[in-house]
Amino acid sequence: MPIPVAEPKVCDTVSIEVECTDCGHTRWLRPAQLWTFGVRGDTPLTALAERLSCSHCRRDGLPGKSIAVQAAFATEQAAAEANRWRALRTQEAPGAGSRARVA
């Protein structure tokens, strides 16, 4: 049985691209800049999109919660770990008589 891979965290990154999929506004942020949004180094990358919102959309009265996040990792090892975690997360898991996707 393979050893589980830890979920990638903000502390593993050098910078994070935050894109609003509604209006297309994109910005790059360093992990320290995310502290104003209540994000710390131990925050999983998967939790970032739900904590952030688009200031351009919010200024226009829209929710601005359709956020996509892409990370630039500090080391090649951290990037490889994140890729392994993503592969394990999307891997098909055998079910009782059916095939279920691991979410």
Residue spans per domain, the chain: 10-91
Looking at residue 64, the DSSP 8-state letter turns out to be -
What is the model's pLDDT at position 3? Answer: 54
Q: What is the pTM (predicted TM-score) of this model? A: 0.71
Give the pLDDT confidence of 52-97 residue by residue, as tens digits.
889 899 999 999 899 999 999 988 998 999 889 888 888 745 544 4
Angle at 86 between CA 81 and CA 89, to 5 degrees: 125
What is the model's pLDDT at position 5? Answer: 74
* CB 63, CB 53: distance < 8 Å: yes
